């Protein structure tokens, strides 16, 4: 009876988290003492040009006070590859729990795949092979964890594209912009490029005519493909949103204004160069701004939104920065049917 109550308390802890980071941390905190393990890690596989990289969602070892995770400023190419460990890679591909017992050490590998096709793996290192009952308990907790991740995704993500939705914007904006900076001893490239955040509003040009001419099914396919282009253009730790209709938002980190402009120009070019089935050529207008200290999400969005309307007023298929427009005093049309021209 005592063991049952302990498991119930552990499940209560696991499902108490209200965001992904806290749930990840709680999972390893629950599993480490349950398995009497040396360490427990929750991995996530991220695609990178034909090979998968390992992101540490949460790691806890004996003697550690709190779980750790991969630093958000680490480039994808610097993360370890899934194939570097054949045993781990095999468990993931087979999508089956594996117990590997060796002399003086054992490993427990429990893969998970969420409805949004996130590929996760629980890896525990132990002094000896875990009991069958313990493995079953871990598998059960993994399924519950997977279900709660699915619930979080359904509330935070756009159902069509899988990008973050408008409802999640405020929380993820503050979480991203308040993260700790890269440490002084970080590798040079990571330290140099640890600049401010930039917020961009991305609007699909003439999207209504796509729906009118080709129908909503083709229109939805265009939005799906643009979401895919967004993912392939930006880094794994950048925040990408669909705000509804043909409006997307990107919250990215860049070294400086020049790097931010280059990143958003690359997105514009990638969309323009993509051969959309049946439709052919699609373009986007992009407005962006630097995220200032003490900015609210609505403050940053409003500036980027003004910049995107300037891009549209100049003929669309363009990238405009709010700060650049301020410096040169360009006119900015306001949203709405009747637009008065005013200077920044």
Measure the CA–CA gap between 56 and 45, rounded to whole angstroms.
9
Which one, of 249, 162, 191, 177, lies nearest residue 75 by Cα? 191
186 token code pair:
């970080």
Which one, of 203, 220, 315, 226, lies nearest residue 273 by Cα? 226
Q: Are 141 and 10 in contact (CB under 8 A)?
A: yes
Q: Are 342 and 282 in contact (CB under 8 A)?
A: no
Tokens 């709405």 sit on residue:
336
Measure the CA–CA gap between 320 and 289, rounded to whole angstroms.
9
Cα separation of the two ends of the chain: 69
Q: Active-site residue 246, yes or no?
A: yes
Q: Catalytic: which of 221, 246, 247, 272? A: 246
159: Cβ–Cβ under 8 A, 6 or more apart, which residues?
A: none
How does strand 164-165 pair with strand 239-244? Answer: parallel
CB neighbours of residue 114 within 10 Å:
17
244 token code pair:
């509804």
Label residues 176-201 b or e (16+ Cβ within 10 Å = b). Answer: bbeeeebeeeeeeeeeeebeebbbbb
* Helices of type H across 98-198: 132-156, 169-177, 188-192
How does strand 319-321 pair with strand 284-290? Answer: parallel
Task: Label residue 259 exposed, middle or buried (CB < 10 Å: 0-12, 13-18, 19+).
Answer: middle
Q: Which residues are catalytic?
A: 246
């Amino acid at each position: 009876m005592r063991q049952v109550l302990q498991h119930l308390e552990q499940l209560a802890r696991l499902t108490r988290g209200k965001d992904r980071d806290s749930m990840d941390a709680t999972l390893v905190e629950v599993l480490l003492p349950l398995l009497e393990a040396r360490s427990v890690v929750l991995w996530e596989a991220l695609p990178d040009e034909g090979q998968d990289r390992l992101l540490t969602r949460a790691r806890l070892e004996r003697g550690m006070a709190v779980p750790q995770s991969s630093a958000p400023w680490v480039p994808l190419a610097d993360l370890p590859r899934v194939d570097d460990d054949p045993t781990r890679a095999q468990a993931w591909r087979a999508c089956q729990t594996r117990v590997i017992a060796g002399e003086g050490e054992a490993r427990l590998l429990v893969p998970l795949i969420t409805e949004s096709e996130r590929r996760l793996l629980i890896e525990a290192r132990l002094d000896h092979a875990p009991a069958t009952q313990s493995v079953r308990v871990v598998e059960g907790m993994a399924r519950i964890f997977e279900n709660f991740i699915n619930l979080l995704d359904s509330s935070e993500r756009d159902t069509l594209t899988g990008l973050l939705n408008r409802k999640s914007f405020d929380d993820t904006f503050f979480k991203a912009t308040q993260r700790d900076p890269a440490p002084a001893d970080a590798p040079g490239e990571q330290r140099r490029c640890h600049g401010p955040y930039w917020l961009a509003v991305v609007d699909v040009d003439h999207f209504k005519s796509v729906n009118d001419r080709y129908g909503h099914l083709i229109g939805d396919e265009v939005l799906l493909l643009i979401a895919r282009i967004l993912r392939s253009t930006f880094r794994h730790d950048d925040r990408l949103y669909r705000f509804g209709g043909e409006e997307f938002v990107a919250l990215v980190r860049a070294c400086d204004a020049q790097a931010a402009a280059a990143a958003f120009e690359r997105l514009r070019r990638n969309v323009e160069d993509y051969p959309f089935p049946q439709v052919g050529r699609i373009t986007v207008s992009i407005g962006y701004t630097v995220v200032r200290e003490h900015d609210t999400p609505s403050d940053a969005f409003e500036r980027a939104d003004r910049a995107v309307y300037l891009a549209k007023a100049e003929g669309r298929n363009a990238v405009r920065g709010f700060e650049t427009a301020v410096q040169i005093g360009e006119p900015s049309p306001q949203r709405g049917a009747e637009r008065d021209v005013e200077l920044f």
